[in-house]
Structure 1
Amino acid sequence: MHAVDSLKALSDNLVDPNNVLESWDSSLVNPCTWFHVTCNTNNNVIRIDLGNSGLSGQLVSDLGNLKHLQYLILSNNKLTGPIPTKLGGIPTLNQAFLLDNNPDPTRCA
């Protein structure tokens, strides 16, 4: 699965009343041009920064396919539901900021 597919799965699962995901065009092969996405020199997604964006919905297990992801910043939104266990399988993930949401840390999906 390509990074575009993983990020598209996330955006499809979120309600975005402030249109912060407007630049996430899945017809583009490379998500490195999208706002709130940072890539390394090899065009691998290393950071998703969607904190304070007014997003609601649930996280998707597809995020676990982003094998170079280092930072996942989703704090201060209205996310609910379980935290995907596949996030724990990302070897490069240094920090996942999920504060001030409503995910259920006792449930994993």
Structure 2
Amino acid sequence: MYDKSILDAAWGRFITLSACKAAEAGCTSVKMTPQQTSQVCSGCGVLVPKDLSERWHSCSSCGAELDRDENAACNLQHRYVEQGPLLTSIVGRFPPHNARLPLRRQPSAVAHPRL
């Protein structure tokens, strides 16, 4: 039980850091449900069941051939474009994707001479 609370805290910290990095880059960090994103074909939308050990996505319907993780990433991107943030949860409050924030840089400890 103690291990689960440590894992939850670490995951929460990761989400927070990801959101901060996205904000610094002028982006928005979005949490999405990854259910069946690697099993649905990103080319045609047909469900292609596969075991967890199967790393390659091959669709017999449209002929799409790509890595399982790339297929899932394409599906997540399609899902966000179609549904937007309404069915997802936005992490933190950030400016729109086209707004740019200045990057915070740490001052250098070593003085670099100009050449």
TM-score by length of 2: 0.25
Indicate the structure with greater helix content.
2
Indicate the structure with greater strand content.
1
TM-score by length of 1: 0.26
